[in-house]
Amino acid sequence: MTVLGHQPPGPDEATGPPVPPPASALDVLRPRLRVPGGRFAIGPGWRRLVLDCHRRIAAEFPAYELLAVKQKYGRLSFQAFPRPWRPGERSWTPEEHARLHELLDVTTARSESLCERCSAPARLRRTRRLWLTLCDACEAVVEESGDLDEAPGTPGPAAGQP
Please give the DSSP secondary-structure letter assigned to residue 18. P
The residues that bridge with 69 in the sheet, in sequence order, are 78
- Asked if the structure places residue 102 within a domain, the reply is yes
Contact present, 76 and 50 (Cβ < 8 Å): yes
- Torsion of Cα atoms, 35 then 47 then 28 then 130, to 10°: 10
pTM summary value: 0.80
Name residues whose C-beta falls within 8 Å of residue 22's C-beta, 6 or more positions apart in sequence.
47, 161, 162
pLDDT digits (tens, 9 = 90+) for 19-49: 889 999 999 999 999 999 889 999 999 999 9
- Asked if the structure places residue 116 within a domain, the reply is yes
Please give the DSSP secondary-structure letter assigned to residue 41. B
- Asked if the structure places residue 146 within a domain, the reply is no
Cα(97)–Cα(82) distance, rounded to whole angstroms?
Answer: 7
- Asked if the structure places residue 3 within a domain, the reply is no
Whole-number pLDDT of residue 145: 86
- Asked if the structure places residue 81 within a domain, the reply is yes
- Asked if the structure places residue 56 within a domain, the reply is yes
Q: Highest-confidence range of 2-16, 79-93, 102-116, by mean pLDDT?
A: 102-116
Mean pLDDT of the chain: 85
pLDDT digits (tens, 9 = 90+) for 111-140: 999 999 999 999 999 999 889 999 999 999
**Around Cβ 40, how many Cβ atoms within 10 Å?**
19
Domain that holds residue 98: 23-141
- Asked if the structure places residue 5 within a domain, the reply is no
What total number of domains does the chain contain? 1
Cα(14)–Cα(16) distance, rounded to whole angstroms?
Answer: 6
pLDDT at 154 over 80: no
- Burial classification of residue 58, based on how many CB atoms lie within 10 Å of its CB (0-12 exposed, 13-18 middle, 19 or more buried): middle
- Asked if the structure places residue 104 within a domain, the reply is yes
